Amino acid sequence: MSKSNAGRPAIVGDIVLQKLESAFSYGLTDTQACFEAGISTSTLYNYQEKNPEFVERKEALKDNPKVLAKKVVTDAIKEGDKQQANWYLERKDPEFVKKSEQKSETNLNIKGFSMEEAMQMTPEELERIANQQI
């Protein structure tokens, strides 16, 4: 007696995998991707247990939006976009942090002023008042 090929089809077939991979390539979470693919998260996790190589692919796909964004920024810089170049350097190179941002990191203790009053002052006024209180 031979074994029949009839039976329950695999829940995670080619179509479901395509839907999952598409969803993950948009950076969706496991829960969101499973909703898009029409499966439960437990089905995804069971599939991953049986196919551990899929976990690595899933994580790579989830990084796709970051990769695309980096390419856009890099392409703009290559095309001479000075605003993008400055934006990039301000975030990636400590030498290019704006002075106003550096000053905001300084913790000034201004006694006799409310937070609202201090927020309305210029950095120079705050520094002058702080120096007077030393």
* CA dist., res. 71 & res. 91, Å (int): 16
Per-residue pLDDT of the chain (134 residues; tens, 9 = 90+): 555 555 455 688 999 999 999 999 999 999 999 999 999 999 999 999 999 999 999 999 999 999 998 898 889 889 998 888 888 888 888 887 765 455 544 455 556 777 777 777 888 887 777 777 65
Domain ranges of the chain: 14-62, 65-97, 99-134
Report the SS3 class of residue 130: helix
Query: Which residue is associated with the tokens 């991707």?
Result: 33
CB atoms within 10 A of CB 37: 23
**How much is the pTM?**
0.59
User: Tokens 């703009």 — which residue?
Assistant: 76
CA distance 5 to 8: 9
